[in-house]
Amino acid sequence: MNARNFQRELDRLLERLAAEGRVPRLFLHSCCAPCSSYVLEYLSKYFEITVFYYNPNIYPPKEYDERLAEVRRLVSEMEFAHPVTVVAGAYDPALFSTP
């Protein structure tokens, strides 16, 4: 059993950053907009965030494009304390096809 409390560790880190007046950058993977919403709301208070949308196992390409558009819409409509940008990884569904 892991006795580490990761929330407590994060809280200490965030307190230290606030005390130092620092706003570091964070590279955050996103598989979809719903999974990202709370994380972005919470962490954007402390970090400048680059959201990396990467989910090449989505098929068909139209579905992938719609999900990427939804991540971009989410970021454009939310209010953040610090900048949040979106970048997309390469879409290559062949990585997940069976030989």
Q: Is the pLDDT of residue 98 over 70?
A: no
Report yes or no on 7 lying in a domain: no
Both ends of the chain: CA-CA distance in Å?
A: 38
Report yes or no on 13 lying in a domain: no
Report yes or no on 41 lying in a domain: yes
Report yes or no on 73 lying in a domain: yes
Angstrom CA distances, 52 to 14, 70, 88, stand at: 22, 13, 6
Report yes or no on 1 lying in a domain: no
Query: Which residue range is the domain that position 60 belongs to?
Result: 23-90
pTM of the predicted model over 0.95: no
Q: Kindly report, residue by residue over 42-71, the tens digit of the pLDDT.
A: 999 999 999 999 988 888 999 999 999 999
Number of domains in the chain: 1
Report yes or no on 98 lying in a domain: no
Report yes or no on 63 lying in a domain: yes
Q: Kindly report, residue by residue over 79-91, the tens digit of the pLDDT.
A: 999 999 999 999 9
Report yes or no on 46 lying in a domain: yes
